[in-house]
Structure formats: C-alpha cells, structure tokens
Structure 1
C-alpha cells in the first residue's frame, strides 16, 4: 500500500500560518489567520473560549473544464467538514479570545482535495498557534507548559474494481464503487468518517480493510506533518505544541 507523494512547503507570508500542501497533482494553499473578532454568541461565554472556522474554494483553473467562481453546495459541505476537523485539534477554552480562520484554496485538483485541505490546514493552524505563542498572544497552563492541541490528518479511500484502495486520484475516484473520507487525530482516534456506496454497498469486512489502509496511510502523512513542523516552529513553540506518540 502506498500513498501519493506528499510535500509541504511554506508559502504566503501574510497569514499567521501558511503552507502549500501537495499530494502529487492535488495542490492546496492553506492559510490560518488570527484575529480577536469572535462570533457574537461566544462573546459572553464562560469559561472564555476561542473559535476556529474554515473556508474552502477551488480556483476556476484548478480543474478542466473551468469551474465557475464562487461557493456552491459542495464547497459549503466541505468547509464545514474542515472546520469540524480543525476544532477537534484543540480545546477551544485554551485559546480564549482568539478567532482563527483557515482558508483552503485548491489550486490544482486531482482527487482528495478535502482531505488534503484538512491535513494542510492542520499544519497551517499549528504554525499560527506557534506564532501566537512566540508573540505572547497565547499562553499555556503554567503547571504543564503544554497546550492541549494535536494534529489531525485525513485521507480518501474506497473500493475500485473490487479492491480496497487508499488515496484516490481523480481517475480512481470517478470509478469508485465506494467512496470514504477519514480524519484521525494523533492518538489514532477517528474524528470523522464519511462513507458512501456510490454504485454498490460494502461489507463490514471491507470497511475494516479500508480503515486499516487509512490507518497506515494517515501515519505516513502525520510523519510528514510533524517533520515539517519540527523544522518550522521555534524550539519553544514546538515544545509546547508538538507531541510524537
């Protein structure tokens, strides 16, 4: 079992955290921007809390034929998935007063854009939190000097030509009888599983096989995420944010 080659690069310097996440021909620019502009319903919440949200968009030229500009139902569904996944990264009460918006812009699409967005935005969010720590905008519990945060990673999977496969490109995705997206945290707990029988149902044994493949694939992605963060966070923020299980 192998996944597509994953690369993570620094990109936009304007955002608090930013990466270009690539799974071969699928490339997503992920940024995380910090502000103190909280949703109104959080303003008087006790204990004080922060918030994390996401936006997802595909550039018109990211696919062929050209995709019309603007948010559609699919984009709305995907950005909600990304937002839920990112909020699972951190105890929101540990980032009081902070609002973090993660933007995922697909610049080239070849399948797996939502899972690439989650994995990339997770890294961008970590960079943003590291910057907030370095700038004194975010403090940790004195007794632990740790922030309750962990990476999330995601992968697509499915059944193609009767075989369970992982990390589907567009060709495989278009032929899949079963399509599944999996999101996992560093403790190897599932954050979200979305599975659909596109052309046929699937058995419990097939689901178990798919999840085993996802486990292995996500571990490879997680190592790339951690290696990147080891090299791009300050020593202090890395010590506070990163945990290798």
Structure 2
C-alpha cells in the first residue's frame, strides 16, 4: 500500500488555477497532491545575445524553492550569492521542455520568462513546474495574440511531465517525497500532448534496473501524461 493509499498507476490529484496573480501575462497555481507551484509568464522585448537580430524569439525559465516550502526552512539562494546546481538543472529542463513545443520564429524577437516558485514541496516539483508552466505560457501567448502583437499562435503542441520509479521492487507512478526518498530508481518523463518524448531522466540509487522495469515505468509515465494532458485541455477550455 502506498503512503497515500493510491494505486500503483494512480496520479495524485492535479488541479490548475488560472489567473492566479494580477500582473503577469499568464499566471497559474498548479497542485499535484501536496506539491504546489506558482507559474507566471512575463514578456520582455529582447532576446539573448546568441539569437539577437535573427528574428527569432526565446522562452526561458527560473525556478525557486521558497523558504517555507518544506518542513525545515530552506534559505533563499539569493542570500548565498549563487544558485545551486540542482536549481540550474531544473531551470534548463523547464526551458528546454517549453521551447520544444513552440515555433520560436513566430514570437519574433521577444522573450517569455516562465517563473516557477514552489510554495509547497512533496516530490515532483520540476514535473509540476513543466505542467503548469505550459499553461502559463499558453495564456501569455494568447495575451500577445489578443494585443495584436503576434498574428499566429507559436505553440505547436502541449507539454506535460511526470515521475515514475521503482520502490520496493514495484514500479510506481508520480512519486511523492516519501516514495522518492526511498526509491531504488527515480525517473522523470517530459512528453508532448501527441505522445512524443522531449526528455527522459533516470537514475538508479545504488540499484541497477533492467529493460522490463524501464518498460513498466515508460508505460506508467505515458498513462499519467495522457491524463495530465486532458486536465490541461480542460483548464484551457480546449
């Protein structure tokens, strides 16, 4: 029996609340069980130097675990003067995931920032940030269209993410923190709404896994992301 009484292939309850804050072009609160992340989208009229004067836009992300998000206070990384390797890795993952489903040329030379702030953490913060970040991005894109800033929708697909792992030799979907902390294998899957993979991250924690176990985790992840995609569609009214 799982710690929260879910079946092995069952997601935690996922909710998406749009227009969560006032000033951003897109803002949502995504909750996956006890994990809660605020995702906001901001638009700036410039691009990084490496694509300047190319006519192409950019999507990037910042990620932060707020001090009160865990049982013990987590100091803000700004007080340390630099971000951790984990934060840097997650930010790059979110950015890559969102750029993969966008025709950046249709954004023209502007940047959309997706800021993901974890206000409560219980495992799966990076996957929730990607799932929620997509909705914030979609709302920001619609804002640009409504303002006649761009003519065409650059989003060519949707994107969502979920974890799967091996705990006590059993493949499980959507690990909470207690399961993640004791997992023999922990994997994160990022997929488009049409079922293509964007990224697969997997690590055996002092444990080697075989192809059969990998196949089980892939099957669980695909099932979970299909369900999340439907939740995203409902949230957007599509």
TM-score over 0.5 (shorter chain)? yes
Equivalent of residue 184 in structure 1, options 182, 191, 198: 191
Distance 1:61 1:35 in 2: 29
Counterpart of 2:28 in structure 1 is 19
Describe the superposition over 1:144-180 as per-residue Cα deviations: whole angstroms up to 9, x where unpaired.
xx64521100001100010000100000000100000
Equivalent of residue 206 in structure 1, options 213, 219, 223: 213
Describe the superposition over 1:105-159 as per-residue Cα deviations: whole angstroms up to 9, x where unpaired.
000000000000000001100000011111101112xxxxx64521100001100
Unpaired stretches in structure 2, ≥5 consecutive residues: 1-8, 78-82
Aligned length: 224
Distance 1:79 1:88 in 2: 14
Equivalent residues of 1:156, 1:166 under 8 A apart = yes
Equivalent of residue 74 in structure 1, options 61, 86, 95: 86
Counterpart of 1:8 in structure 2 is 16
Describe the superposition over 1:192-237 as per-residue Cα deviations: whole angstroms up to 9, x where unpaired.
000000120110111011000001000111111110011xxxxxxx
Unpaired stretches in structure 1, ≥5 consecutive residues: 141-145, 231-241
- When the two chains are superposed, the root-mean-square deviation of aligned CA atoms in Å is 1.1
Counterpart of 1:225 in structure 2 is 232
Counterpart of 1:33 in structure 2 is 42
Matched, 1:164 2:176: no
Equivalent of residue 120 in structure 2, options 102, 108, 124: 108
Q: What secondary structure is seen at the aligned counterpart in 1 of 2:37?
A: strand
Q: What secondary structure is seen at the aligned counterpart in 1 of 2:206?
A: coil
Normalised by the length of structure 2, the TM-score is 0.92
Equivalent of residue 97 in structure 2, options 60, 85, 88: 85
Q: What secondary structure is seen at the aligned counterpart in 2 of 1:111?
A: coil
Equivalent of residue 69 in structure 2, options 59, 62, 68: 62
Alpha-carbon shift at residue 43 of structure 1 (Å): 1.6
Equivalent residues of 1:94, 1:148 under 8 A apart = no
